[in-house]
Copies of this chain bind each other. A is one copy, B any other.
Amino acid sequence: MLLKFPPSVPDNQKRDLTSQILDWCLTNGVVFENSDKPGNGLNVPVTLFPTPFSRHGYKNAIELQVLYNSLYHAVFKHPEFVIEQLSQLKEDEFTMKLLSIYENCSKRRTQNLTGGVFRSDYIVDKSRNSGEEGRQIKQVEFNTVSVSFGALSSKVTELHKFLAETAKTSVHGEVPVSKSLRDIAKGLATMHSAYGCQQAILLFVTQPNETNVMDQRLLEYELYREYGIISVRATLEQIHRKTTIGEQNRLIFIPTGAEISVVYYRAGYAPHEYATAADWTARERLEGSHAIQCPSIMTQLIGTKKIQQVLTKPGVIEQLQPNLTNTEIELIRKTFVGLWPLDETDLGKEGQKLAMQSPEKFVLKPQREGGGNNIYKKDIVKHLENIGHENWSSYVLMELIDPPKISNTILRNGDLVTGRVVSELGVFGTVLWDIEANKELMNNQAGFLLRTKTQKSNEGGIAAGFGCLDAVLLLSSR
């Protein structure tokens, strides 16, 4: 039986709680930086209470991460398979450009190690099963590049645990703290250590005018405090000017002459980020260098929706990972929703038919990473008609997930908004792979993230102004 949620709190207590949350955010770096006014920060939008989440689904998602990390390693081990799949997107210049850099660089590769900080995102689906125990998480996407909010999730879950324990918010249940800040830093430190040069530095590839800076800086400070590793930050444009290739293909940071051990991308996933030829030159220099890429281009590309869709096809997992047990395959497969290409294959034609006949059941997503460009329900038909048939294959059609009905209050820009919300659970993973030996040197689950949006907004991008950061509330089952 679910307890009453959200707790009914009188207005003056809501004001106290709001003030406590805002102060906690400002004190603990849960802020976005105003890129126009240096030194100005604004609290990251958060929920007033942690949101109830299926205990079974939470446990399931956490346990699945190492299986998913391995599944994506299996994909990575078959570059010819990835290239074949992505070659179907040949009208997508961005993917084609990345593939060509991949091919150029793999010929002259000197670094056998490649890293990843991943996040697998899920929404609980209530339509297919009834009752708490039967609730099933469904995968929204698997992210392999520029995964964010690992550090801030640790902070926000700490905030909600603190409030539950001290502020008498009447929240009854367990509020787990995400160890993502510690664990992602540990993952990066493992990559640095594997590079084998303690005095080398780590390079954060960043976007110009980034506002979600604290989420990255927290990792930088953790890396220094816990491991003595120094990091620098640079945009692709700055990397073009400030790095060079030294002896033995080493990547050198010119201002200090330091060798770079790991290139950690918090940018570089979207076409608009490569505005000039210099940006592409920078990316190719990084990819072709001896520094460990986190992620390399191939790892970035296996995170496309195209690969996610192909993995749902019967037999594909079994073919990529013949050693998986039936139980493991079933665990993964249960998180899949229906996914169709919209190309001219048989499956693609089925997808086209579904999209036109029952669009209310689907969301249309661009093949690439990014967010913010999804098309929902009846808008799908109009959109497909507008873009012309020849561009349909750059989308995948995805079955909509039907989340449970929950209300909560979101605190954004000092205002409280109460209403129906949808929560998305992301689980982080860190990996290190040896390309030559085809081996997983590291495969870890690395904490989690709960993002919550009001049901009206379709996207959950927090930095973009929708949704907010949240914490998982595991209600007592009695």
Contacts of A39 in B (CB 8 A): 22, 25-26, 42-43, 411, 413-414
Q: Of residues 250 to 278 in A, which have CB atoms within 8 Å of B's CB atoms?
A: 255-256
Q: Is the CB of B214 within 8 A of A23?
A: yes
Contacts of A28 in B (CB 8 A): 29, 221
Q: A81 within 8 Å of B by Cβ?
A: no
Given contacts A40-B42, A40-B43, 7 further A-B pairs with CB under 8 A are A18-B38, A22-B39, A23-B217, A26-B31, A27-B29, A39-B411, A162-B224
A255 to B13, CA, bound (A): 9
A18 to B411, CA, bound (A): 31
- Binary interface profile of A, 13-50, with partner B (CB < 8 Å = 1, else 0)? 10000110011111111010100011111110000000
Q: A349 within 8 Å of B by Cβ?
A: no
| Closest Cβ–Cβ distance, residue A224 to chain B (whole Å) | 6
Q: Is the CB of B38 within 8 A of A31?
A: no
Contacts of A23 in B (CB 8 A): 33, 213-214, 217
Q: A123 within 8 Å of B by Cβ?
A: no
A168 to B258, CA, bound (A): 12
Contact of A38 among B29, B41, B221, B414 (CB under 8 A): B414
Interface centre among A28, A38, A413 (most CB of B within 10 A): A38
Contacts of A22 in B (CB 8 A): 33, 38-39
- Binary interface profile of A, 203-228, with partner B (CB < 8 Å = 1, else 0)? 00000000001100110010010000
Q: Chain copies in the assembly?
A: 2
Given contact pairs A42-B39, A414-B39, A33 touches B29 in the complex (Cβ within 8 A): no
Contacts of A37 in B (CB 8 A): 414
Closest B residue, CB atoms, query A22:
B39
| Closest Cβ–Cβ distance, residue A240 to chain B (whole Å) | 16
Q: Of residues 397 to 414 in A, which have CB atoms within 8 Å of B's CB atoms?
A: 411, 413-414
| Closest Cβ–Cβ distance, residue A150 to chain B (whole Å) | 14
A18 to B43, CA, bound (A): 21
Q: A248 within 8 Å of B by Cβ?
A: no
